[in-house]
Chain A
Amino acid sequence: MADLSVKLCGLTLDNPVIPASGCFGYGKEFSEYYDINILGSFSFKGTTRYPKDGNEQPRIAECYSGMLNSVGLQNPGIHRVIEHELPEMKKYFNKKVIANISGDKIEDYVYVASLIDKEEQVGIIEVNISCPNIHGGGMAFGTDPAVAAEVTARVKEVTTKPIVIKLTPNVTDIVTIAKACEKAGADGLSLINTVQGMRINIKTGKPVLGRKMGGMSGPAVFPLALRMVYQVANAVSIPVIGMGGVSSASDVVEMMMAGATAVQVGAANLVNPYACKEIIEELDGLITKLGYEKISDIIGVCK
């Protein structure tokens, strides 16, 4: 038995596998397939100040080895999440969760962060400055180092829990953004969010997605994500959560060898509800087979 535990921003996780925000809801649907307490943690659906209905249909498209979505952060808003979703979550998940928050304005991030910070179930606050699917906010905060730093600093001011900034790959130089967030006080970074993409229906000549463009995810983006995790992990001294197309235990190992302390799994959960369970089960044998006793020993071994 290999030791799969990792330390992430002061929390000890039983294993590094964390379902990514937007691909796991609040966990309930997956708890009908397996006991989700086997997870290291999970990052729940992106939460905003006000309820959001999300974007027009269709919101889903397919591509080779992956998918695109333009859901647009559909969520019931922070108040409903605190009053209803968090107590519900307690019924099927007894570990600390990661609260993923988003906003249209910096004040919205501050508002949501200050409220979620008081919730005992929340171990880490993941600040999404990278959603490609909302107007006037989201990704706009994650493409400019000065703005990314400002969101980080303002959220940091009103929180006591560790904050992890979720970065977009849709930039020229992700390292600059990562360093700006670290300097502004981020306790960790998570990357990558989805890659902006598009599909066209050739019968109609129109975009497949109602919102024309969306965020691409799935195995197709894995090498791109791995490269960015490698670049960022080698440029900062705070922990990095790697994600982007992770679908197997071997992908988790690659992400960690690239420098990730923990790994999020997104789209894989949508095509196989047992994806994270299977990854965790395979991880033990794989780490042993690779000759390690502790998974934490593989973090950043790739130089």
Chain B
Amino acid sequence: MIFTVKTNEKIAKDVYRMTLVGDTSKIISPGGFVELELPGLYLRRPISVCDVTADTLTLIYKVVGVGTDAMCKYENGVELDVLTGLGNGFNVDADTKNPLLVGGGVGVPPLYMLCKRLIENGASPSVILGFNTKDDVFYKEEFEALGVKVTVTTADGSFGTKGFVTDALDAHTYDYTYACGPLPMLKALYERSGVDGEYSFEARMGCGFGACMGCSIPTKNGMKRVCKEGPVFKKEEIVWQI
């Protein structure tokens, strides 16, 4: 599917927001991802979906390697081949009235679309966004504009609450968690939250649509493909690799 880059702007240190215009009809569940074919690079790059409308896809990504470095230079009008509708995504129909959305760094973006869908479903979500330092912080205002309570934590205390996302748990009332972020953050939340939830994982992927077994991880129900049965796994099926 061909998408055309509309905007591509820096929103935090090394973090960019790209909007693309194209057929988004296959993007249904929040927490899913797309695979971008980038000129000159062999493997596609999996990027989580931050938001979607009938014809516009919003991606937020951090420059961490050659692929994302190439992406941040694309300007309005660049055409990219995109595989859409990948991954299982979060379950927006989970039994929860007060879900807590916990994001760390570039784990934050998929929670934005999730937050909107949960609100549409009648839930009252609240949000904790964790970053290393104030230059990394993004999307606090965007979440607040949805009318939800947002706590930002920074590891060095330069913005919001000092510490990790788990240090902000007591400031929220919740009966379920949805989380996306680095593995140590996910594990700390898993151990401290005390409620059921869903955790989004990442892995190096070959194809992104279930063919190569490159991204498989062990779960309590056997090996699962992060790209196909994941990236979102239920708390009870997680086996920690750290």
Contact = CB atoms under 8 A, between A and B. Distances in A.
Interface of A: 22-25, 28-30, 45, 53-54, 57-67, 69, 71, 74, 218-219, 267, 269-273
A267 B41 CA distance: 13
B210 A29 contact: yes
6 contacts: A60-B205, A60-B214, A65-B42, A69-B206, A69-B214, A273-B207
B106 to A, nearest CB: 17
Nearest to A72: B213
A195 to B, nearest CB: 15
B217 A60 contact: no
Contacts of B37: 271-272
Contacts of A22: 212-213
Interface string B37-52: 1000111100000000
Interface in B28-62: 37, 41-44
A61 B66 CA distance: 12
**Central interface residue in A25, A58, A269, by most chain B CB within 10 Å:** A25
Interface string B81-117: 0010000000000000000000000000000000000
Given A53-B218, A60-B205, A269-B207, 17 more contacts: A22-B213, A25-B210, A30-B211, A45-B213, A54-B216, A58-B204, A59-B213, A62-B41, A62-B43, A63-B42, A71-B213, A74-B223, A218-B42, A271-B37, A271-B43, A271-B44, A273-B209
Interface of B: 37, 41-44, 83, 203-207, 209-218, 223, 228, 241
A218 B228 CA distance: 23
A29 B44 CA distance: 17
Contact of A74 (B41, B216, B228): B216
A33 to B, nearest CB: 8
B212 A71 contact: yes
B2 to A, nearest CB: 13
Given A67-B42, A71-B213, A271 B207 contact: yes
A66 B42 CA distance: 6
Contact of A71 (B42, B83, B214): B214
Question: Chain B interface secondary structure, helix, strand, loop or mixed?
Answer: loop
Contact of B204 (A54, A57, A65): A57
A64 B40 CA distance: 8
Contacts of B206: 59-60, 67, 69, 270
A88 to B, nearest CB: 14
Contacts of A30: 211
B204 A61 contact: yes
B165 to A, nearest CB: 24
A271 B43 CA distance: 6
Given A29-B209, A54-B223, A69-B212, A271 B42 contact: yes
Contacts of B213: 22, 25, 45, 54, 59, 71, 74
Contact of B241 (A57, A63, A69, A270): A57
A271 B203 CA distance: 16
A115 B42 CA distance: 38
A60 B215 contact: yes
Contacts of B43: 60, 62, 67, 270-271
B66 to A, nearest CB: 8
Contacts of A270: 43, 206-207, 211-212
A199 to B, nearest CB: 11
Contacts of A28: 210
Contacts of A65: 42
Nearest to A29: B210
B217 A57 contact: yes
B212 A23 contact: yes
A102 B139 CA distance: 50
B186 to A, nearest CB: 15
A74 B218 CA distance: 11
A20 to B, nearest CB: 11
Contacts of B211: 23-25, 29-30, 269-270, 273
Nearest to B218: A53
A53 B42 CA distance: 26
A67 B43 CA distance: 7
Contacts of A273: 83, 207, 209, 211
Given A23-B211, A29-B209, A273-B83, A58 B41 contact: no
Contacts of A63: 42
Contacts of A58: 203-204
